[in-house]
Structure 1
Amino acid sequence: MNLARYVLWRIVQTIPVLLGITTITFLLTNAMPGSPVDIMVGPEMDEALEQALKERYGLDRPLHERYLIYISNVLQGDLGVSFYYDEPVTQKILERLPVTALLVGSAYTFGLGIAIPLGVLSAAYRNRWIDHVSRVIALFGVSTPSFWIGLVLIIVFAFHLGWLPSSDLVRPWRSPAQVTNASTWLEVWYLSARSLVLPTIALGTLQMAAAMRIERSSMTETLGKEYIRLARGYGVPERTVLRRHAFRAAQLPVVTIVGLNVSTALGGSVLIETVFNINGMGRLIITGIQTQDYPLVMGTTLFFGVLFLVGVIITDISYAYIDPRVTYGDAE
């Protein structure tokens, strides 16, 4: 099976998964107590206005009929209109997605940039001080909630020390005229980097800890293989053994955990964006839940599901580039 056929087959496999995500989200969203119409109308009940809103958003129809209409619209690329914003859900997602992508990308860069070197060093110098320190860091990272880390960072570095901002995120793509205290693009990027430090650390700590533990275990196993001992027996320098012979072969489990942790990072961004008052996809989901905005909740959940499945497919495809022994099907 070649790459194109494999990717096509994987895409076909995602269809029932997406249908399941859509169905479950639709049923759970509509099972929430109360009604979005009650929130829109307010405490002063106006039956005429309530009926008009139900007819406008199709809430006066039976549940099964609304489900079929929603599935039909999704297949056409229409995620509906937000009750709260009165705008297409797709438009709101595209507005907020770059912020969340910047946050998650920064968290992954921070996490992997620390996890991979520490994991390699921890495996190369087992039971020494750097191994002990790395394992303590990893244990702390996987056992501490990201929102708690964010709150501690705000208290220490924003309120007490005053080094970094505690809320909002300066978008690096905004022009200097749209950013307070910025007159040049360089100042915009500097302010953006400062505002990104704390949420990046808070969100990236879990990714760092998970990747570090897998990196250490995989490198330890690889360094114990016969071809590694043979290379050492021939007098190959230890740095060359680590870099050329062991490192690449040990990355398959790391790539797996990185790809599967996309959902964890996206879920963590919901909390981190709330803690740091960042208007991204996470805040959009929270707003949808608080206002019982059915199309917004279902649309953002489906979008996150698509991102996760894309991450899984990319992870599977990357295996063959890391390890030539991996194929996309049975050998003929």
Structure 2
Amino acid sequence: MLGIIVLPLSIIVTWKETRAVIIALHKKGFTGKDIAASKIAPKSTIYRIIKNFKESDSIVAKKASGHPRKSSKRQDHLLKLIQLRDRGTTSTELAQEWQQAGVSASARTVRQRLLEDGLVSRRAAKKLLLSRKNLRDRLIFCKRYRDWTADRTGVKSFSLMNPLSDCLGHPEKKLVWRRQGERYHQSCVMPTVKHPETIHVWGCFSAKGVGSLTILPMNTAMNKEWYQHILRKQLLPTIQEQFGDEQCLFQHDGAPCHKAKVIIKWLGEQNIDILGPWPGNSPGLNPIENLWSILKRQVEKQKLTNSDKLQALIMQEWATISQDVAQK
């Protein structure tokens, strides 16, 4: 018996440190019973640590065997390749494909392996289906205007136009496996396509507030003739009212009727400058989309089913949008 052991327990922070203290005392000749009297660890734990040290001559704890892993690193890599082919494949489907490669594992095991690789199941973001040309045009557009400011161009404010889409119904929900930062990766989004509109609404706004709003007759498609008519009857009065002789820039997207030669010629004759060329399938680049979202939320609160009342409500809610909202 070497005496009573007195230890400042506050300095023992982790089990690794506790193990090191126990082994150090054992090397100095203290028995397991002596060390247990200090109450730094249960007696059974102290005896086990001393026993492991005698067998391995190391203070590192033995790694618990646990349940044997069902797959090798090579098989885990194969699972990753299978998953990357289609991000929307479910864990059950992945387990079945994995089994065909000789790995008997459950869907739960599949989820654990994907989680180890940073892949989690999330609802796919919905984005318009883009062609290679769409992607190339978007990049050209962004590079052209990335350093563009009002001061450099002499433009004081904007006049922004776009048709309001009243798309009914909601696409089905889809889950995809993705890592952090991959929400809008092309392989992780759900492509959507444009649907026929039931009500066609044209409106404009600038930093000075909302401008004119008009609703096309039912079952009327927006073509170059209608578009030129709207620009003449709605756009020109709004520009005159909000800007007078000030310079402004007109922004609309790349819809076929917007790009028609007769429209381009007419806008030139009116001395209206255009922001462009506009990349296809790029509604998110037009700030009026945020205004349409505000308008749509206000209109949907009423849950109207009558077309005439719905059109009247759209006009009413549009008029309530403040200049402050338009500026933001």
**TM > 0.5 between the two?**
no
Give the number of the structure whose alpha-carbon radius of gyration is greater. 2
Greater strand proportion:
2
TM-score w.r.t. length of structure 1:
0.19
More helix by share: 1
